[in-house]
Amino acid sequence: MKLNADKLSGPQKAAILFLTMGEEYSTALFKQLDEASIKKIGKYMSEITHIPSDVLSTVMNEFLINFKSDGDVVISGEDFLKQIVNKSMDKESAREVFKVIGEKGTSVPFSDLAYIPVENLINIIQGEHPQTIALILSYLPYEKAAEVLKSFPEELKIDVALRIVQIGQVDVEIVNELDKVIKNELSKIGGATRKCDGIETLANILNQVDGITEESVLSHIENEDGDLADMVRQKMFVFEDLLQIENRHFRDILQNVDNQLLIKALKTTSDEMKDKVFSNLSERASEMLREDMEVMGPVKLSEVEEAQQEIIKVAKRLESEGRIVLSKGGDDVFV
């Protein structure tokens, strides 16, 4: 989806804001929207793959101006603003938008390079003198600099590495002049863009909302583009997907879940899921769980869904720790 800073609709601006502020904040705000807004914004989120820097600056500036006039809209206040701006913009752009709310920032040379694809960055600097390359890499995030360095031929790689080690004090004017040259190169190729997987972001957000909202958004997207809706569903991870995890990994999840949370989560699940849980507990623990489930009274559906999401969070945490792997869709195998 191509974005033009001068022709953005309200829902498109909201989609960009949600994609750049992070899933935690986006999910919280998503839950406050009416159904019609959720459908429109959700559709645009799923279609966005890249956000040009000028579009991002425009949206963030407008948000900050509106925020200043209506400060009680977002509870997190100044910290919220700082986190959103710092997560979604380079430091030079952040400095400009912070002027709107009276905060001074610091311009960091070559900050635009942090947000362009590595292959584009290599094309921009590979023809420069090794000393220039070394200086630029010294300002980049370590991970990005490493990707660029390892792409060079062996001789250039060693030369640049040695020059990075030897970098001492550098004249500010030289750095700023080089920064201008790089910015000029960027403008020739369309400027920096922020890569954004709108499908995955929306899937992660929908994993956190209630079932009614989830189905409403997906149904709307499906009416517009069935394939797109399928791609979002493929990225989503729902409670019943835990059925496909190997028992040894499933036991890891159960060991990290509170018993009361598990009882609520199982309230609306299939018999197959309940059997999987019982079979992966000790005989005594399984019996106690059955008894607790029998005496449990009515539970709000929202509480059941919340409990299931908490368990999914545990599973994803264990995955991030390398103890299990959660894979979803098609012929993927859970291990």
- Per the structure, the count of domains in the chain is 2
CB atoms within 10 A of CB 10: 10
H or E element: which one contains 140? none
Look at residues 129, 160, 190 and tell me which one is the last residue of a structural domain.
190
Provide the pLDDT for residue 38: 84
Low-confidence residues of the chain: pLDDT under 70: 1, 22, 64-108, 112, 115, 168, 186-197, 327-335
- Measured in degrees and rounded to the nearest 5, phi and psi for residue 193 equal -130, 155
SS3 8: coil
DSSP string covering 24-55, please? HHHHHHHTTS-HHHHHHHHHHHHH--EEEHHH
Q: How far is CA 83 from the centre of its chain?
A: 13
| Same domain? 333 vs 249 | yes
Work out the angle between the directed axes of helices 172-188 and 130-139 (0-180°, nearest 10).
Answer: 90
Provide the pLDDT for residue 196: 59
Instruction: Examine residue 159 and state whether it is found in any structural domain, yes or no.
Output: yes
Instruction: Examine residue 229 and state whether it is found in any structural domain, yes or no.
Output: no
| Same domain? 181 vs 255 | no
Look at residues 158, 190, 222 and tell me which one is the last residue of a structural domain.
190
| Same domain? 174 vs 255 | no
Provide the pLDDT for residue 331: 41
- The residues with which 50 forms a beta bridge, in sequence order, are 195
Q: Is 210 exposed, middle or buried (0-12, 13-18, 19+ CB in 10 A)?
A: middle
Provide the pLDDT for residue 290: 94
H or E element: which one contains 193? strand 193-195
Look at residues 163, 190, 217 and tell me which one is the last residue of a structural domain.
190
Instruction: Examine residue 291 and state whether it is found in any structural domain, yes or no.
Output: yes
SS3 205: helix
Instruction: Examine residue 2 and state whether it is found in any structural domain, yes or no.
Output: no
Dig out the tokens for 49 from the structure. 């793959």
Provide the pLDDT for residue 67: 55
Q: What is the pLDDT of residues 239-262, one digit of tens each?
A: 888 998 999 999 999 999 999 999
Structural domain for 259, as ranges: 238-335
Provide the pLDDT for residue 35: 78
CATH number at residue 297: 1.10.220.30
Say what the alpha-carbon torsion angle 300, 241, 215, 36 is, to the nearest 10 degrees: 90
Instruction: Examine residue 243 and state whether it is found in any structural domain, yes or no.
Output: yes
Predicted TM-score of the model (pTM): 0.44
Distance CA 46, CA 200 (A): 8
| Same domain? 181 vs 263 | no
Answer yes or no: are the C-beta atoms of 63 and 80 closer than 8 Å. Answer: no
Answer yes or no: are the C-beta atoms of 78 and 255 closer than 8 Å. Answer: no
Instruction: Examine residue 84 and state whether it is found in any structural domain, yes or no.
Output: no
Instruction: Examine residue 151 and state whether it is found in any structural domain, yes or no.
Output: yes
| Same domain? 245 vs 335 | yes
Provide the pLDDT for residue 180: 82
Please report, as a single letter, which amino acid is at residue 30. Answer: F
Instruction: Examine residue 333 and state whether it is found in any structural domain, yes or no.
Output: yes
Distance CA 209, CA 121 (A): 38
Provide the pLDDT for residue 91: 58
The residue written with tokens 């807004």 in the block is 37
| Same domain? 320 vs 254 | yes
